[in-house]
Structure 1
Amino acid sequence: MKSKKSIIEAGVSTLQLEAQAILGLINNINDDFVKVVNLIIESKGRVIVTGIGKSAIIAQKIVATFNSTGTPAIFMHAADAIHGDLGMIQKDDIVICISKSGNTPEIKVLAPLLKQSGNTMIGMIGQLNSELAMQADLVLNTYVEKEACPHNLAPTTSTTAQLAMGDALAICLLHARDFNEQDFARYHPGGSLGKKLYLKTGDLALKNQKPSICADASVKDVIIEISQNRLGAVVVVDGNDILGIITDGDIRRMLEKYSDLTNIKASDLMNPNPKRIEKDLLALNALEIIKENNITQLLVTDAGSYFGIVHLHDLLQEGII
């Protein structure tokens, strides 16, 4: 059993090292930091925060802080990003990559892909000579001299520095948006638990486009409508009556099945029995249907008529998941 003295010394030493690391960040609140704040404020998109390992956990906390203080943000795990989740990034989104070394295999693969997409990439990095630092448009320097771990291995001081830098960024954005107590109260009516109790599917659907197309529309028109509305699907309608839904997956399956697309119409591609939910039901109910059926889009109806679409990412962004 360790003595009381040794335990206290280790605890105090840890806090001292981490406090020194945070104070060391003060000199890194520089021109790049100011540019990052202004870039996010002026952006029409969201902030996508990504990382691997312990940095991914920090990224999730930063996303939560952003969302609760008026900056729309989504977490994207760096490992999942290179296996399909890059699809959540939209044209106007800004990406923050968090990494101590900036040289992990996942980050090395992800960084060039983000550059190719044209999204602004911000690196929150502990090594300024790293691959991520060289690829990033702007850098938030979170260098620390050593970890609190006596072996200098377990991420401790470095993740504390990342967390503190994320908080500094969030609070600067809060000030820039004039985010006040009334805004905070509006965003926190019981937190995520509150949203599960009051947020309706219709509220979410109203934030999205309402893609629709007629039954005899061509394949080209279907693809254009799906691409323009960025929900991964289009609803086939007759007036306000729902005939079916066509998703990205349906388009891929069509290309595998047919070589001649000349005479194919929307009615040939659609699923005539899409899952749906009434607009006055809770977003939590929508999540249950999405999970049970392993789908990403759910039709929202008003007395059976087409009202809109709720996407899995909507539920993620609202903290329902």
Structure 2
Amino acid sequence: MKDKSSILNTAIETIKLESDAILNLANLINDDFAEVVELIYNSKGRVIITGIGKSAIIGNKIVATLNSTGTPAVFMHAADAIHGDLGLILKDDVVICLSKSGNTPEIKVVVPLIKRAQNKIIAITGNKDSFLGQHADYILNAFVEKEACPNNLAPTTSTTAQLVIGDALAICLLELRGFSSNDFAKYHPGGALGKKLYLRVQDLSSVNQKPVVNLNTSIKEVIVEITEKMLGVTAVVENKKIVGIITDGDLRRMLTKVDDFSNLTAKDIMSSNPKRIEAKAMAIDALEVMEAHEISQLLVEENGNYSGVVHLHDLIKEGII
């Protein structure tokens, strides 16, 4: 049984082997790659990606990456293609075939059928001289010297190489399309990444209660307002404008300084010129302000008027943090 040192050495060797193989891919990039990117970019159809075995799994991931970055893509399993799924391929679609050897039986059956339909075929393969390599319109060389598997059998380094080439394609296409963070948010509305790109402060503050007092509000009423609105804070407002803020901390500090607060009002204990943020600002910007000033709440303004409060807990709840 291997000890911890041997296990760690194997892990490190695997990572080094795969990283060296990935770096070598840069030496294999040629004009075919640029032409493939331009072909896909100018295509009126989709990208159909096919493969079998571990290559099929990598194909699914590349499809997901392309779809999420603005290039419509569909996965078609090579084994299913010859049992009806070839119908997925439309006239203007571009087909990418993934295969380390380029000589699997399924590929040998599928490729001629695709060519008969006159769709362009892009091969991502480690064997340029294979059946796939010889019949593809373009070859993206995914050659690796050896697998990370000590028996040089289990697809490891080779599938990593396929994945990296797929990512390179997606990023090149993303840049050609001018795909922005706003576009990204459109395709990722449910995830934390998307929320960072589209969620605005007003989306959070509008569902919170709106604690507010004026300059002459008694401390008792201030305490009631903060307690009832359950945000640990209240704005001090005059003519709809924010003039100060009172937090739970301000109340505790007051109690350590005075024995009788019956004659005190909001203006006596408030902090003037509090940190605030525009309602239309991004929620992620609110987080940055809170972190920079080590605070948990921000007062929100809309058109210069007080409109509510955004709390650190709102950002946590939405997965922004």
Deviation per residue, 1:201-237 (Å, 9 max, x gap): xxxxxxxxxxxxxxxxxxxxxxxxxxxxxxxxxxxxx
Does 2:164 match 1:164? yes
TM-score by length of 2: 0.59
CA distance, structure 1, for counterparts of residue 77 and residue 45 of structure 2: 19
Match of 2:140, SS state, is: strand
The one-letter code of the counterpart of 2:154 is: A
Which residue is equivalent to 2:122?
Answer: 122
State TM-score, norm by structure 1: 0.59
Separation (CA, whole Å) in 2 of partners of 1:157 and 1:150: 11
Deviation at 1:185, TM superposition (A): 0.5
How far has the Cα of 1:32 moved from its partner? 0.2
Secondary structure, aligned partner of 1:107: helix
SS of match in other structure, 1:139: strand
2:89 aligned residue: 89
Name 1:8's counterpart in structure 2.
8
**How far apart are residue 29 of structure 1 and its match?**
2.0
Partner of 2:288 in structure 1?
A: none
The Cα of 1:27 is off from its aligned counterpart by 1.4
Alignment of 1:186-197 (within 5 A): 186-190=186-190
Letter in 1 for 2:164: A
Give the structure 2 partner of residue 261 of structure 1.
none
- Aligned amino acid, residue 104 of structure 2: T
Alignment of 1:234-245 (within 5 A): none
Map of 1:97-176 to 2, 5 A cutoff? Answer: 97-176=97-176
1:30 is displaced (CA, Å) by 1.2
1:84-143 deviation digits (Å, cap 9, x = unpaired)? 000010000000000000000000111111110100000001001100000100000000
CA distance in 2, matches of 1:123, 1:176: 22
Q: Within 2, Cα distance between the matches of 1:164 and 1:172?
A: 12
Q: Distance in 2 between matches of 1:139 and 1:64?
A: 22
Q: Which amino acid aligns with 1:101?
A: S
- What runs of 5+ residues in structure 1 fail to find an aligned partner? 195-321
- Residue 145 of structure 2: SS of its match in structure 1? coil
Aligned residues: 193
Is 1:47 the counterpart of 2:47? The answer is yes
Partner of 2:58: 58
CA RMSD of aligned residues (A): 1.3
Query: If you compute each CA radius of gyration, which structure gives the higher value, 1 or 2?
Result: 2
Q: Which secondary structure state, in structure 1, belongs to the residue aligned with residue 92 of structure 2? A: coil
Question: SS at 2:14's partner residue?
Answer: helix
For 1:97, the aligned partner's letter is C
Distance of 1:132 and 1:116 partners within structure 2:
15
Residue-by-residue CA offset, 1:283-312 (whole Å, 9 max, x unaligned): xxxxxxxxxxxxxxxxxxxxxxxxxxxxxx
Structure 1 residue aligned with 2:183:
183
Q: For residue 138 of structure 2, what is the amino acid of its counterpart? A: L
3-state DSSP of counterpart to 2:146: coil
TM-superposed CA distance for 1:28, in Å, is 2.0
Per-residue Cα deviation, 1:259-306 (whole angstroms, up to 9, x for no partner): xxxxxxxxxxxxxxxxxxxxxxxxxxxxxxxxxxxxxxxxxxxxxxxx
* Equivalent residue runs for 1:229-268 within 5 Å: none
1:51-93 CA deviation, whole Å, 9 max, x = no partner? 0000000000000000000000000000000110000100000
CA distance in 2, matches of 1:44, 1:36: 14
Q: Quick one: distance in 2 between partners of 1:46 and 1:130? A: 26
Work out the CA distance in 2 between the residues paired with 1:130 and 1:176.
Answer: 31
Runs of 4 or more off by more than 3 Å in structure 1? none
Counterpart position of 1:36:
36
What is the distance in 2 between the residues matched to 1:24 and 1:110? 30
In structure 1, what residue type is equivalent to 2:165? M
Query: In structure 1, what is the Cα distance between the partners aligned to 2:122 and 2:55?
Result: 14
Q: Which residue of 2 aligns with 1:21?
A: 21
How far, CA to CA, are the matches of 2:142 and 2:8 in structure 1?
Answer: 27
Give percent identity, aligned residues only.
68
Q: In structure 2, the residue corresponding to 1:90 is in which secondary structure?
A: coil
1:210-289 equivalences in 2 (<5 Å)? none
Q: Give the deviation of 1:9 after TM superposition.
A: 0.8
Distance in 2 (CA, whole Å) between partners of 1:15 and 1:182 is 35
How far apart are residue 180 of structure 1 and its match? 0.5
Output the CA distance in 1 between the equivalents of 2:107 and 2:135.
10
